[in-house]
Amino acid sequence: MNPSLAFELLKVTEQAAIKAFFWKGKGDKNSADKAATEAMREILNSINIKGTVVIGEGEMDEAPMLYIGEKLGKGEDEIDIAVDPIDGTTLTSKNRENAISVIGISEKNSLLNAPDMYMKKIGVGPKAKGAIDITKDLTYNLKEISKALNKKPEEINIVILERDRHNQYIKEAREFGARVTLITDGDVCPVIGAGLDDIDIDVMFGIGGAPEGVLAAIAAKCLGGDFQGILHPESEEEIERCKKMGITDIKKVFKLNDLVKSDKNIFCLTGITDGYIVKGVKKRANKIITESLILNSFDFTPRFITGYHNL
């Protein structure tokens, strides 16, 4: 895999974000997602790759575009693709912060084919790599993270989705002494934030989407961070879906190298709405301005890119 492929992927998330921008704040998350998905698919098919969607918009009978197993590109370089045209469709439709367009790629057969269900997950930056254990309670993890970061409990900032299922975790984190940042949607950004020195995030924890977990794991690997997850099925149907996708041990702990086997990975995101990682799409006179972040596990150098696109 050529590291320069990152700049081809940049076009993918830029165009998806631009298309989503025109639906920002209009209360129609499905139309926003459709526009971003179509843009992403069109650009991917123009690139010299031979990609297979491993994390996409759903299974073939559920999603007309970017479905799991779909083949994309016009080249010979075989890769796995993980995409989320909009991580934060509700954020986009309500014009709230931190909606992004995301793509991650890895070598063929390297990414976990995660079913569309919940996953209990924890992600940290490089300074806390090796300090997490999702089989232990949250207090244990926060203690180990604070030791690794050389921070007092009150200096730790943990990001958790604001859901009733997380009430006990929120209580536990506050009893430990940590600051708890509650978010409404989008748990990929906090994992990235934990890996960037100038962002005040130390750990992301909670039960969220498994596909987003794989995307976050790619980002963590490109930042030198750490990530773990355990699938959290809520029905027998979901357990059967796991087995159908080759996951027979439902209680398996997926460590970073289980989720992303290869050390050759590229991750790219573009902001749709303003956020703490990148700003959202802006329209200025005859230009559309985008802000993006490119990560890779070749040189572990985050690159922020501003694009000025002619209308």
What is the C-alpha separation between 170 and 166, in angstroms, rounded? 6
Q: Lowest-pLDDT range, 49-58, 102-111, 179-188, 260-269?
A: 49-58
How does residue 66 score in pLDDT terms, banded at 50, 70 and 90? Answer: confident
Does a structural domain hold residue 176? yes
- 16 and 84 fall within a common domain: yes
Residue-wise pLDDT tens digits, 144-153 = 999 999 999 9
**Are residues 191 and 276 in contact, defined by beta-carbon separation less than 8 angstroms?**
no
Q: Rounded mean pLDDT of 279-305? A: 95
Return the sign of the alpha-carbon dihedral for residues 104, 110, 112, 116: positive
Q: Give the rounded distance of the alpha carbon of 70 from its chain centre.
A: 20
Does a structural domain hold residue 113? no
Dump the DSSP string for 198-227.
TS---EEEEEEEHHHHHHHHHHHHHHT-EE
> Which of 170, 207, 204 is CA-nearest to residue 188?
204
Of how many residues is the chain composed?
A: 311
Q: Does the pLDDT at position 95 exceed 90?
A: yes
- 159 and 192 fall within a common domain: yes
- The total of other beta-carbon atoms located within 10 Å of residue 123's CB is 31
- 144 and 253 fall within a common domain: yes
Query: pLDDT above 70 covers what percent of the chain?
Result: 98
**Are residues 260 and 218 in contact, defined by beta-carbon separation less than 8 angstroms?**
yes
> pLDDT value at position 255?
97
CA atoms within 13 A on the CB side of 192: 31
- 171 and 239 fall within a common domain: yes
How does residue 114 score in pLDDT terms, banded at 50, 70 and 90? Answer: confident
CATH of the domain at 230: 3.40.190.90
The tokens for 25 are 């704040």
Orientation of helix 138-149 relative to helix 167-176, angle to 10°: 40
> pLDDT value at position 64?
59
- 148 and 268 fall within a common domain: no
Does a structural domain hold residue 103? yes
What is the C-alpha separation between 127 and 242, in angstroms, rounded? 33
What's the total number of domains in the chain?
2
Which carries the bigger pLDDT value, residue 166 or residue 249? 166
- 172 and 58 fall within a common domain: no
Residue-wise pLDDT tens digits, 242-267 = 888 888 888 999 999 999 999 999 99
Q: What is the mean pLDDT of the chain?
A: 94
What CA dihedral angle connects 99, 123, 49 and 300, to 10 degrees?
A: 100
- 246 and 126 fall within a common domain: yes
Does a structural domain hold residue 189? yes
Taking the model in full, what pTM does it have? Answer: 0.95
CA atoms within 13 A on the CB side of 112: 28
- 130 and 239 fall within a common domain: yes
**Are residues 14 and 270 in contact, defined by beta-carbon separation less than 8 angstroms?**
yes
How does residue 3 score in pLDDT terms, banded at 50, 70 and 90? Answer: confident
> pLDDT value at position 247?
87
Which carries the bigger pLDDT value, residue 240 or residue 220? 220
- 146 and 129 fall within a common domain: yes
Does a structural domain hold residue 305? yes
Domain housing 296: 5-108+264-310
- 128 and 248 fall within a common domain: yes
CATH of the domain at 292: 3.30.540.10
Residue-wise pLDDT tens digits, 76-92 = 889 999 999 999 999 99
> pLDDT value at position 58?
67
Of the residues 222, 237, 259, the one at which a domain ends? 259
Q: Does the pLDDT at position 8 exceed 80?
A: yes
**Are residues 209 and 58 in contact, defined by beta-carbon separation less than 8 angstroms?**
no
How does residue 63 score in pLDDT terms, banded at 50, 70 and 90? Answer: low
Of the residues 220, 240, 259, the one at which a domain ends? 259
- 249 and 279 fall within a common domain: no
Of the residues 217, 237, 259, the one at which a domain ends? 259
> pLDDT value at position 16?
97
Q: Does the pLDDT at position 61 exceed 60?
A: no
Strand order in 157-161's β-sheet? 179-183, 157-161, 203-209, 118-124, 226-231, 254-255
> pLDDT value at position 59?
61
- 134 and 57 fall within a common domain: no
Does a structural domain hold residue 268? yes
